[in-house]
Amino acid sequence: MATALPTLLHFTLVLLGIILLIPQAAEALDLVFNNSAEGTAGGDRFDQQIREGGALEIMNSSIIFIWNTFGQQSGVDRKNVTKVTLIVESMDGIAYASGDEIHLSAEYVGNYSGDVKTEIRGVLYHEMTHVWQWDGNGNAPGGFIEGFADYVRLTAGLAPSHWIKPGSGDRWDHGYDVTAYFLQYCESIRAGFVACMNAKLKGGWDIRFFNDLTGKSVDQLWKDYKAIYSSST
């Protein structure tokens, strides 16, 4: 039930047959999928719509997308994660990430009406972001951390239609779609903002990280962001 995810460098070196000469490239990442809800409507729907191969493909694609979003082409910049497990199981809610495990609700999959494949992919891109992102040693606002996960979902083209419109919301750290669109604004005025902010969150949390990266306070940035949309509403 496991497969190895080579880094692009690793992949290239394997093709060249010189993998053993580069110790740091020999690290592989194990991806594990476990559908513990087989036999339930949602578990079986997952198997029909996604299958194990599809689950591993989504995990692999999302990881590469996240590394690119965070500018972590090299393993030394990333969190030291050696294995990620996706578990489809009977539970309340939609999904959550805990350490290197992602849990997805079979009931949510079973009840979802609409394009369930795209929804599952979007949910998993969000949860996979939590596996890899830094969170200021737990001190960054929770809404900010959720915003990164939805920023990844948004920029992967997986934002669902029920999300708020850009420019909506009252607080930069409201979380989810509100904060995702705000992060997109920050990225638009300072290319590399999201990757640099994530890197800063490795060492802790300070609201002045916004000033460091853009020369403006987060309150000023939020005002500037809201002002873009104020004339049209």
Binding site for ligand NAG (CB under 6 A): 1, 3, 5, 11, 34, 36, 41-42, 57, 60, 64, 80, 82, 87, 107, 110-111
Distance CA 178, CA 146 (A): 10
Token pair in block for residue 208: 């002045």
CB of 145 to ligand NAG, least distance (A): 22
Q: How many CA atoms lie within 13 A of 59 on its CB side?
A: 30
Residue 215 backbone zone (phi > 0: left; psi -120 to 50: alpha; other: beta): left
For tokens 């609409």, the residue is 114
Query: Smaller CB distance to ligand NAG: residue 58 or 149?
Result: 58
The residue (of 60 and 168) whose beta carbon lies closer to ligand NAG is 60
- List the structure tokens of 31: 């991806």
CB of 206 to ligand NAG, least distance (A): 25
Q: Write the CA distances from 120 to 32, 67, 91, 95, integer angstroms.
A: 17, 20, 15, 10
CB of 20 to ligand NAG, least distance (A): 18
Structure tokens of 24? 């740091």
To ligand NAG, the closest distance from the beta carbon of 198 in angstroms equals: 19
> Smallest distance from the beta carbon of 201 to ligand NAG, in angstroms?
19
Q: Which is nearer to ligand NAG, 63 or 180 (CB)?
A: 63
Q: Which residue is nearest to ligand NAG (CB)?
A: 110
Q: What are the C-alpha distances in Å from 69 to residues 22, 25, 133, 183, 195?
A: 25, 21, 10, 12, 6
Pick the closer one to ligand NAG by CB: 62 or 214: 62
Nearer to ligand NAG, 29 or 218 (CB): 29
